[in-house]
Amino acid sequence: MSAEAQAQERARAYFKSKEALAPSEVRDQIVAAFEALDAVLATVPPDRAAHRPLPGEWSVQEVVDHLVETYRPGVDELRCVLAGQRPPGEPIPAALQSKAPLLRPWSWLLNELRRAHRDVVELIAGVPADFATAARVPLVMVVNVTGADGSSRPLHWVEEIDWKAYAMASWRLHAIDHMKQARKVLAALP
């Protein structure tokens, strides 16, 4: 089996493992990821948030801008699937950012991120324990795979998933992934 097929199978196994979670468990895991991300972002000196110390990497400010820009339509998509409908249109692009991420004030970005976190948590907290829907959400999956030459590269594909997998991927995994990215950038700041 190719590295790409293995990566897709691991992602699908992860999604399958989330089917049995209660909505409260989904919420708790997402809250934990948000809290961990918030703790890392609290260490960012405001005057250093926009610095790019690593070639080809986003600054922490660009990371937060990306999260804000993807969380907003993500909340709308979650509302759709919780209403029993597939969200209209194309899935949210993987590298979505605003038009000018470095021009947005750092404090404003942090406030918008916290607002999005609250929206997600409140929406999931309102899901009844016995909620069920056949509606699915298309999600652009991005995972790193190692090629035969040992180099790592991103693999993109669209996966149709249920609301629990969507919530866990869009907010838990997404927050953890970008928290790690922010830590890496922070460690490289002079």
Which band of pLDDT confidence, cut at 50, 70 and 90, is reported for residue 144? confident
- When comparing pLDDT for 150 and 166, which is higher? 166
Residue with tokens 């918030």: 38
Q: At residue 1, does pLDDT exceed 80? A: no
CA 187, CA 179: separation in Å to the nearest integer? 12
- Longest pairwise C-alpha distance within the chain: 51
Collapse the DSSP code of 144 into the 3-class scheme (helix H, G, I; strand E, B; otherwise coil) and give the result.
strand
pLDDT surpassing 80 at residue 14: yes
Confidence category of residue 10, pLDDT binned at 50, 70, 90: very high
pLDDT average, residue stretch 119-123: 97
Task: Quote the Cα angle for 114-141-75, to 5°.
Answer: 35
Task: Give the pLDDT confidence of 73-103 residue by residue, as tens digits.
Answer: 999 999 999 999 999 999 999 999 999 999 9
Domains for the chain: give ranges and CATH numbers. 3-188 (1.20.120.450)
**What was the pLDDT predicted at 152?**
87
pTM of the model: 0.93
